[in-house]
Amino acid sequence: MLNHSRPAHTDTEMAARASLSEVLSGETSRDGKLLTFVICMLNSTAFSPKLLSSGALPRKRWTKQGLVGEAGCDGLSAALRTILSDELKLRNALEELESASTLSKTVDGNYVMDAATGCRIREAIPPEDTQFWRWQAFVVICHAVPWKYLEIISTKEWEMLTRHLEHTLQACRTRNELPAMAIAVKQDIALTLLEASRFPGKQWKLLAVTCAKEVTESMDDAYIRTCIAQRDSLLLRLAGSQQDAVDVINNPLTGSSQQHGGKMEPLMHAATGNASIQRAMNFFQDEQLAAATKSLDSWQPLHHTAAEEAVEFRIGILRARILRFQGHFNESLACLERYMDRPSEGLIFDEDLPDLVCEIADTLRELDEPLRAEQLLRNELARGSNEHRASNKSLLKLCLAEPLYAQDRFLESHEVCSDVERQSGLTKMSKLRLFITLAKLRHIQCDWDAAFNHWTQVLLVLNSFPPTSGLATRTIYLSTCDILRRQGREELELAARANVTTLERSCEDAETKHWIAGRHIALLPSIHGSEVWSGRRISEPKADTHERSALSCGLRRSFKKEICEESRAVSIVVVGKAIFPLRKKLGLM
């Protein structure tokens, strides 16, 4: 398993030494002892029998031909593989350790080795054997990671998997043991870490990608280098390092093409397709939609493999989003619907379904088909009730709040928003959608203080995004202007309108015409003819704005106002201290 610094004994000898160990009682079986030595190297939290068996059984992986194949667990001891891959052997060993109080069983069928027991066993293992068992634990957990589009993993499973993977990875990394792996093992572990970097958590993502780089530092592998560049570009873009994100994804593309003389293996061609998506995302981030589309068009499938099918799926979603942002709603919907029930040979798109459904729902919202959007979202929420990650579930619910609002079902929309608002760890996009919908709900109820507070929260969240052309920001400013006018705060209103004028000049040539779904459908004209973001289709005459507003408020369903004095105080001062700094970020000051 190791190139150097490996234990002096073979895998068979290590298993024999473990079976003779007196760390556990003499009545403990050989299988029980081997399993104990691995488990004590895991995180001291719950693990499932499935997690252990997955680390020994063949797993689905991409082949160089871009097809779906199976791979065994390189580096795993034959004795351990025999135990972990046999359901009966594994169950018997776990039950034996539970009976001996070495493990505790949880109500959901998982097992736990408490920290004190784990520490006692690790300290009793001979120092010359410790590295071997630490490696075995890491290899098992690493091999248990399912690759995207090839296998399914539930929310609970990836949470458990991430805890143990990070623990075993750090245990090996801090002892500088990563370079000691055989090349084949390093390749598999690097690619697996890149796959695992899709699991939530910024620090985890950075650690996984960093370790993948460290493992392959001395290797000349264009495919792995391109995969690393894709993850690097994504993380740099999320961190706001836009130019670095562009640079890192452009360099390996040129290198890999030269290395292959212009001819690539099918899997490598699929990897360049994924790299083209990241290049398109970099353009998309800067609202260069035409350039983003050109980047997507630069890659075409050549071999019609499963790996290329996965790339086409991702390209289709991004292309549809670009079309929606440009205002081509029917074209966007047609692009998206091609992938809803598209047959697939051996691929699983469950992880991307929430994103696909939200995109379709937003497009239907723009096409003024809120009922279809609602049905689609409710179906997806019901389908993945036990599978969706918290961030996906929140986004789906916030997407649902918008078509409910469009149908004048304000109470239901508010209840959905309130449910999401109580959750912790919302993403920036979820916060943005939440505050926009809440602001519209309060605005249309003529609850000016609460509406102003929510519009201010929208601007604060926008300030955490990279600078945009300002179309959405302009409409939000106009909404705050409308509130300030109604509150008689003329000086602040005039100052805010000056920002609107500046933003209008900056977004004249903007490629992004529609960002947040629902903005274009109804912009209520205020007394000065400005637009207020209501997100509803209005058919009443426009002659008397004051009369329309009063009538609209009278017809709307009312719901309980929950505005505290603190919120009122915040709304008084926030224009000068929170909204205007956005101008600086946009280069308008």
- d(CA 539, CA 499) in angstroms, rounded, equals 29
Q: Residue 20's pLDDT is what?
A: 56
Structure tokens at 467: 């600078």
Any idea where the domains of the chain sit in the sequence? 1-219, 427-585
Are the C-beta atoms of residues 237 and 281 closer than 8 Å to each other?
yes
Phi, psi dihedral angles at 112 (to 5 degrees): -140, 135
Structure tokens at 549: 């507003």
**Cβ neighbours of residue 122 under 8 Å, at least 6 residues apart?**
40, 41, 130
Residues in the chain: 589
Structure tokens at 533: 């973001």
Of the candidates 18, 19, 76, 81, the one whose C-alpha atom is nearest the C-alpha of residue 53 is 81
- d(CA 512, CA 468) in angstroms, rounded, equals 9
Of the candidates 89, 60, 90, 55, the one whose C-alpha atom is nearest the C-alpha of residue 75 is 55
Are the C-beta atoms of residues 296 and 315 closer than 8 Å to each other?
yes
Q: Which helix (H) or strand (E) holds 69?
A: strand 68-71
Q: Residue 561's pLDDT is what?
A: 37
Q: What is the pTM of this model?
A: 0.82
Taking the CA atoms of residue 377, residue 379, residue 384 and residue 386 in that order, the dihedral angle to the nearest 10 degrees is 110
Q: Residue 117's pLDDT is what?
A: 93
Q: Residue 181's pLDDT is what?
A: 83
Compute mean pLDDT per 10 residues along the chain, 589 residues long, and list them: 43 64 72 94 97 96 95 90 96 95 95 94 88 94 96 91 97 90 90 95 94 92 95 92 91 50 83 96 92 96 94 96 94 89 78 92 94 95 79 93 94 96 90 93 90 90 74 79 84 81 71 66 40 46 34 35 32 28 27
Q: Which amino acid is at 425?
A: G
- d(CA 61, CA 122) in angstroms, rounded, equals 33
Of the candidates 298, 257, 261, the one whose C-alpha atom is nearest the C-alpha of residue 277 is 298
Phi, psi dihedral angles at 105 (to 5 degrees): -100, 135
Distance of CA 554 to the CA centre of its chain: 41
- d(CA 494, CA 475) in angstroms, rounded, equals 15
Are the C-beta atoms of residues 536 and 441 closer than 8 Å to each other?
no
Q: Residue 573's pLDDT is what?
A: 26
3-state DSSP percent of the chain in helix, strand and coil, to 5: 65, 5, 35
Other beta carbons within 10 Å of 261: 7
CA Rg, the chain, in Å? 28
Distances (CA, A) of 92 to 32, 33, 104, 201: 8, 12, 14, 35
Distances (CA, A) of 383 to 219, 352, 429: 43, 13, 23
Q: Residue 558's pLDDT is what?
A: 39
Beta bridge partners of 523: 533
Beta bridge partners of 68: 62
